[in-house]
Chains A and B, each alone.
Chain A
Amino acid sequence: MTASSRTLQHVGEWKVELRAGTLEELFAELARVVADAAGPRGSPPAPGDWEHVELAARDCTTLLVDWANELIGRSEIEQRAYGSVRNLIIESAPGGPARLSADVRGEPVVEWVSPVKAATYHGAALERQGDWRAIVLLDV
């Protein structure tokens, strides 16, 4: 399936539902959502170098939130939107520890739009019912 996302109702913050056929596609979709929220990039694109990311967490849901926070923090420091992901590998045992390895690439943002501060553990969910589905609440 094509990875997708939609906004769910939340008065104060930004609640996002993600769907994808594989876990890797789901994580890549979250990267795209966070990057698109940052604002439009230049045309033609001016991507930077690929940067390597490695993360470990106590479970895959935690890893998903930590992944968003990694990209949000990196984005603010480098002033780039990290929507491009390659070589994404996720190792996880059901309900157990999870690890991620990936290369990410940022593009300069022409006009910053999003005030995304962080991803939260509040109501974070990740499940597989055929396809993968996740919910992440972002502080904006």
Chain B
Amino acid sequence: MQRDQLLAVGDLAFELPPSARPGMRVPARVYADETLLAAILEGEAMTQLANVATLPGVVECVYGMPDMHEGYGFPVGGVAATLLPDGVVSPGGVGFDINCGVRLLALPLTRADLGSKLESFVHELSRSIPSGTGHGGQWRLTDAELDGVLAGGSDHLVKAHGFGIEADIAHTESRGCITGADPRKVSQRAKDRGRSQLGSIGAGNHFVEVQVVEHVGDASTASVFGLAANQVTVLIHTGSRGLGHQVCTDYVKLMDGRLGAYGIQLPDRQLSCAPASSPEGRDYLAAMACAANFAWANRQRIAHTVRQTAVRVLGVAGEQVSVVYDVAHNIAKIERHGDRLLCVHRKGATRAFGPGHEDLPDRYRAVGQPVFIPGSMGTASWVLVGDAMSETRSWGSACHGAGRSMSRHAAKAQVTGGALRRELEAQGIVVRCPTSAGLAEEAPFAYKDVERVAEVVEGAKLARRVARLRPIGVIKG
């Protein structure tokens, strides 16, 4: 797609009108500056966002976040809402890693307090938290235990198994459990793929990162979030593992076979979908909720391990390791926006509700929702707070990361895992990774500039910057 096909519609917003190509029902708008827009237009991301605008029942506008890049079906960093009850739900609009997301933990320590214990803390975390492909968790769930997790999410994990505290649940999106989950709608293969993976990071771009709060730009909001300059934090990035992958595979195939029955024509089969009110749509939403709940339980289990490790290695009190927030970035949520009930798809995009939203925990209701934009292993991550304007700008959404600018294949061709490890260690970052190739795939230069992305997010009034976190320890999936 060419730059001249897009219209500037205010600061940091560019729009492809529905007249640009047949089948588009609403405009496709991307939030970016000229530099990020140029990167977005290098791939197929904008074409994919235009494809999303053809989905039956889509309303108002589809949105591309500043970190948007090409994916399959939906672009990564795409947001679309369909009007319920009959607008469609698209498994491809959620993605294979259902409820991939991030959870930020705040530790009651400064970098100075941590001192020379950093290396042993990272080492013990890497020993305690399974990472990499083929490395499952330490717990093989029975059918009954798995069904409990699928139906109850992290709330179940805390209450039934003691893996955490009530405050963890209060500071998790949707309290770590989407209602309507029905384990009977999850295939046996999906259950078998995830059965032994609870409490594990997985591979790809997933990680557990030890960080320090390097800069606080909004001390008041940071204080509400429990963050202060020089404080040590831990960021967990993972999702629903093989269970979620199989749920997506199962329902993409099911809906792909039923498109004709619903008279749906799509420009990309990976957008396969069904009316949310249809049997296929209802079943997917029930299965997706299970996978989302599994992902929240996964991050809860890992957070519990981090807490235990911090107690053992750093000598802190467990209850002083607090969850700042846990937010999904691959999910479809039933949300009320104004007087409309919508199915909001966020694929590589995070919720970013502003102050006063009833879904926020009491502690954050006056300031807005914490939003996290992880950078790469060698750069910063940002904590932001949802802007009141995000509701009208993006269905209350913001971006989920810096966004890839280079393929994994190209990254591996430019640097070896060993060289990258040495480079990161020279910056004072302790690195643990199961494979060198996996490390190279996630090299910092393979990602866009997180500083620019965060600046555009703020300029576009999606979320405001609060604090910047610098990595000091990386456990790579």
* Stretch from A18-26, A41-49, A83-91, A112-120 forming part of the interface with B: A112-120
- Whether B409 lies near A14 (C-beta < 8 A) is yes
Kindly supply a per-residue 1/0 record for chain A positions 62-102, scoring 1 wherever the CB is within 8 Å of any chain B CB and 0 otherwise: 10001001000100110100000000000000000000000
Q: In the assembled complex, how far is the CB of residue B271 from the closest CB belonging to chain A, in whole angstroms? A: 9
Complex interface residues of chain A between 1 and 56 (CB less than 8 A to chain B): 7, 9-14, 38-39
**Across-interface contacts of A12 in B (CB, < 8 A):** 69-71, 76, 404, 407
- Whether A11 lies near B272 (C-beta < 8 A) is no
Complex interface residues of chain B between 430 and 473 (CB less than 8 A to chain A): 434-435, 437-438
**Across-interface contacts of B253 in A (CB, < 8 A):** 66, 69
Which residue, B133, B242, B410, has most C-beta atoms of chain A within 10 A?
B133
Which residue, B96, B272, B410, B434, has most C-beta atoms of chain A within 10 A?
B96
**A89–B199 alpha-carbon span in the complex (Å):** 40
**A118–B407 alpha-carbon span in the complex (Å):** 17
Residues of A in contact (CB 8 Å), total: 33
Say yes or no for B405: interface residue by CB 8 A criterion: yes
- Whether A11 lies near B248 (C-beta < 8 A) is no
**Across-interface contacts of B202 in A (CB, < 8 A):** 115
**A73–B193 alpha-carbon span in the complex (Å):** 7
Q: In the assembled complex, how far is the CB of residue B407 from the closest CB belonging to chain A, in whole angstroms? A: 5
Picked from B95, B242, B248, B438, the residue with its CB within 8 Å of the CB of A76 is B242
**Across-interface contacts of A9 in B (CB, < 8 A):** 407, 409-410
Q: In the assembled complex, how far is the CB of residue B127 from the closest CB belonging to chain A, in whole angstroms? A: 17
Q: A77-B192, A111-B435, A122-B72 are in contact. Are A117 and B96 (CB under 8 A)?
A: yes
**A120–B268 alpha-carbon span in the complex (Å):** 11
**A13–B44 alpha-carbon span in the complex (Å):** 12
- Whether B245 lies near A117 (C-beta < 8 A) is yes
**Across-interface contacts of B435 in A (CB, < 8 A):** 111-113
**Across-interface contacts of B72 in A (CB, < 8 A):** 13, 120, 122-123, 137, 139
A residues apposed to B, CB below 8 Å: 7, 9-14, 38-39, 58, 62, 66, 69, 73, 76-77, 79, 109, 111-115, 117-118, 120-124, 137, 139-140
B residues apposed to A, CB below 8 Å: 43, 69-73, 76, 92, 95-97, 132-135, 189, 192-193, 202-204, 242, 245-246, 248-249, 252-253, 256-257, 268-270, 272, 404-410, 434-435, 437-438, 477
A-B contact pairs, 15 of them (CB 8 A): A10-B407, A11-B406, A11-B407, A14-B409, A76-B134, A79-B134, A111-B435, A112-B203, A113-B438, A117-B96, A117-B204, A122-B268, A122-B269, A122-B270, A139-B245
